Chains A and B, each alone.
Chain A
Amino acid sequence: MPETLLKINGLTKSFGARSGFFSANKQRNLALDRVSLAVAEGETFGLVGESGCGKSTLALTIMRLYEPDRGSIFFDGEDITHFDEKALKPVRKKMQMVFQDPFASLDSRLTVEQIISEPLEIHRIGTKAERTAEVVRLLERIGLSAEDKNLFPGEFSGGQQQRIGIARALALRPKLLICDEPVSALDVSVQAQILNLLRDVQDEFALSYLFISHNIAVTAFMSRRIGVMYLGRMVETGVSSEIVNAPLHPYTQILLAAIPEPDPANVSDDLAVKGDIEAISERPTGCVFRHRCPLAREICAAEEPQMREIEAHRQVACHFV
């Protein structure tokens, strides 16, 4: 049984809504509401959900780039929830991130070598020559060549830029890679290359992934287990194939039904979904999904459904499951 690498318990994060100085109304927007999950060593946990569901906030809170309001983050045997910057430095070495927009996440004035070796310099690893050798090794591994090290990010295609972003994230030999929409900005023909690359390096570098995407098909391809989020709450977790083939939470069902299947023989127009996340100005009482849920009853407004274990490795937060 592999060890748990990352364990989050009841993580909560809110952001203050801007209000006037004298305003008594201290409204807080809950971006994460008591989210729990665990990622084992070598495992990929996928997070899916639509905009505003809190999946990126969760990534940044785990990285401790946001301070959590409540809850705890255990990583590699330590409770890092309240670590200060100094204590976090060695932790960040083991926890790296790949971002959505590869160009925005690379400094356009630095050469590829400077970009990939920067984390090594910050952590004072190796001599200059050793670092250069490592940069070359990483570049070749991720599908670029040694000569590319002297070029600038702007000279590469989007897919190649994302490869450079992955090389930089791998430079410190992290244990956990958080990938936040890593292929969303890429063309379809390039997406598959990057997804394959991420899967290939996972074994070689003994990585665990927290893989975040709005695209369930992509997430299911990458992940052993999936968590579905809605308005800051985790509503369903389970093994990828089970979530995809037999979704239990009404939101998961709707999310899957809404995906336009690339198959003209299978055209569906029965919309089970109504409404719109952004249209809900106030956080609902009870179940977060009840305004859009086809099953919603009185109990959903009165009582918030908690995550319950329905079967082994399967949790759902719905009164009717």
Chain B
Amino acid sequence: MSKTLLEVSNLQTRFKFEKNFRPAVNGVSFSIEEGEVLGIVGESGSGKSVTALSIMRLIEPPGEISGGTVIFRDESSETDLLTLSDKKLEKILGSRISMIFQDPMTSLNPVLSVGYQIMEPFRIHQRLPKREAKEQGINLLQSVGIADARGRFNDYPHEFSGGMRQRVGAAMAIACRPKLLIADEPTTALDVTIQAQILSLLRKFKKEFGMSIIIITHDLGVVAQLADRVAVMYAGRIVENAGVREIFSNPQHPYTQALIASIPRLKEQPERLKTIEGAPPRFSGDETGCAFYPRCTVRQKICRNKRPELEEIRTKHSVACFVAQEGAVNNA
């Protein structure tokens, strides 16, 4: 039985918009086990990136985390990241939990050489002397597939290609062998052949270091290739959470079903693609019922006035949909 590494409960993050607060993450709960890869999928505005940033406490005004707990279990200690002092948090971020961003330039400083930046985690968290930090940095760059790492150590980020910058970003993130790596759309800005290389790198991290990974993406292909478990987000909430094979072969939420059915596939060329009518809501939180109600093809009266909670309908498969929950009861 593997150990739960991170447990997020009822996480709420909101942004001030004009005079009101708009919820971006509206009561999200999930957990991730050691060595597990969790994919969080959703469309723009679903709250998937805000969820990641909230775990890292990287939300800045006008945004704020307004509720919930994020319990991180590291070795014997157990801490709520949301209430930790900044000083203690700094010790954890970058060494025990780290992040890869969509645009690697977010995490790279353009006026410092790549070598200087790759040495930073070793110098700050492990307090290594410069010469040792440099050797470690070169090893690390080599391990993520940077050719001629020694020769390019003093180059600046702009002298690297987009794919190489993402490798450097990944290298920095894993420098201290974190227990948890959060990757927010790490391949979205990259070409497909480079994407394949980065995905393979993430797989290597999992396999070699037993790292847990949260991968945030809009791309169901990326999730299918990398994740063990998938959480589907819609309008600030998780609407379905299941193992990756289960979610693709037996999706229960109408949104998940429609999303999977609407992807154009290489080997199937239908006359028309299945679609989901309408568009994802731009703001959420006001609705009394299910946020997917306006677009749902199996909606019932109850769905308009009452919001379905995420409930386990079978082992390790939960869904927030009255129709799916009732179906599961009838089948049982």
Contacts and interface: CB of A to CB of B under 8 A. Distances in A.
Contacts of B276: 189-190, 192-193
Nearest to B197: A271
Interface in B215-248: 218-227, 244-245, 248
B77 interface: no
Nearest to B265: A217
B272 interface: yes
Interface string A265-285: 111110101001111000000
A292 to B, nearest CB: 8
Contact of A187 (B43, B249, B273, B277): B43
B262 A192 contact: yes
A276 B196 contact: no
Nearest to A270: B200
Interface in B247-294: 248-249, 258-260, 262-267, 269-270, 272-277, 279-280, 282
A263 interface: yes
A37 interface: no
A14 interface: no
Nearest to B227: A264
A221 B280 CA distance: 24
Given A158-B279, A187-B218, A199-B272, A218 B225 contact: no
Contacts of B245: 264-265
Contacts of B139: none
Contacts of A266: 224
Interface stretch (B48-56, B65-73, B159-167): B159-167
A50 B279 contact: no
Interface stretch (B85-93, B106-114, B175-183, B187-195): B187-195
A154 B144 CA distance: 42
Interface string A247-259: 0000000111111
Contacts of A264: 224-225, 227, 244-245, 248
Nearest to A258: B196
Contact of A189 (B163, B197, B227, B262): B262
B267 A221 contact: no
Interface stretch (A84-92, A100-108, A174-182, A238-246): A238-246
Contacts of B273: 192, 195-196, 221
A220 B269 contact: yes
Say which size band chain A's interface belongs to.
Answer: 35 or more
Nearest to B194: A276
B307 interface: no
Contacts of A267: 224-225
Contacts of B161: 276-279
B31 interface: no
A258 B262 contact: no
B193 A189 contact: no
Interface string B32-49: 000000000001100000
B279 A273 contact: no
Nearest to A157: B279
A263 B192 contact: no
A263 B223 CA distance: 9
Interface residues of B, number: 50
A258 B43 contact: no
Contact of B248 (A157, A190, A263, A269): A263
A279 B164 contact: yes
B323 interface: no
Interface in A161-219: 187-193, 195-196, 199, 214-218
A42 B100 CA distance: 45
Contacts of B164: 276, 279
Contacts of A193: 275-277
B267 A260 contact: no
A303 interface: no
B199 interface: yes
B194 to A, nearest CB: 6
B275 A262 contact: no
A51 interface: yes
Which of B197, B218, B260, B270 gathers most chain A CB within 10 Å? B197
A130 interface: no
A159 interface: yes
Contact of A262 (B162, B199, B220): B220
A279 B9 CA distance: 44
B279 A245 contact: no
A261 interface: yes
A160 interface: yes
A160 B163 CA distance: 32
Given A159-B279, A264-B245, A258 B224 contact: no
Contacts of B219: 260
A189 B280 contact: yes
B57 interface: no
Nearest to B192: A258
A263 to B, nearest CB: 6
A262 B193 contact: no
7 contacts: A187-B43, A189-B43, A260-B199, A260-B222, A265-B245, A277-B161, A279-B161
Given A217-B264, A218-B264, A221-B273, 13 more contacts: A50-B192, A50-B193, A158-B279, A160-B279, A189-B258, A192-B273, A220-B269, A221-B264, A258-B193, A262-B220, A264-B227, A267-B225, A273-B197
Interface of B: 43-44, 161-164, 191-197, 199-200, 203, 218-227, 244-245, 248-249, 258-260, 262-267, 269-270, 272-277, 279-280, 282
7 closest Cβ contacts across the A-B interface?
A278-B161, A260-B221, A50-B191, A192-B273, A187-B43, A157-B279, A258-B196
